[in-house]
Amino acid sequence: MEMTGIPFGTTDWSLVEPTSHSGETGVATWRTCHFGAIRVRRVDYSPGYVADHWCTKGHILLCLEGELHTELQDGRTFLLRPGMSYQVADNAEPHRSSTPVGARLFIID
């Protein structure tokens, strides 16, 4: 990834307008900024959130709070706690997320 045409700036995530996205259960609240072709989000999953789809988008994801359970379509599962991250390429390995306790994530894609 090459980042060009993005001047230095700061983001106060509390001022970014949230959008709600229902899961199979629970809600994901996204605060989204775009910097050129790069989407950057702070995402909050409610306790009990379960994604309603398999995602094929590539991400770099950092768990800030709570815990995130990620299942790959091949059956492997991963648990992220605060300070842990994962990365996956576009169209590489379909994945979906859930959390019993809620989670706050920082995602770049």
Domains and CATH numbers, the chain: 41-98+105-109 (2.60.120.10)
Question: How much is the CA Rg of the chain, to the nearest whole Å?
Answer: 14
* Per-residue pLDDT, 3: 82
pLDDT of 21 over the 80 cut: yes
pLDDT of 15 over the 90 cut: yes
| Calpha distance 32→18 (Å, rounded) | 8
Phi and psi of 96, rounded to 5°? Answer: -145, 155
| Calpha distance 84→68 (Å, rounded) | 10
**Consecutive H or E run containing 18:** strand 18-22
Whether 68 and 105 have beta carbons less than 8 Å apart is answered as yes
Residues in the chain, how many? 109
Mean pLDDT along residues 44-48: 98
* Per-residue pLDDT, 4: 85
* Per-residue pLDDT, 2: 78
Mean pLDDT along residues 73-98: 97
Q: Which position has the token pair 């995130």?
A: 68
Whether 50 and 22 have beta carbons less than 8 Å apart is answered as no
pTM, rounded to two decimals: 0.93
* Per-residue pLDDT, 5: 87
Our measurement of the distance from residue 90's CA atom to the centroid of its chain's CA atoms, rounded to an integer in Å, reads 14
Phi and psi of 43, rounded to 5°? Answer: -120, 130
pLDDT in tens, 50-85: 999 999 999 999 999 999 999 999 999 999 999 999
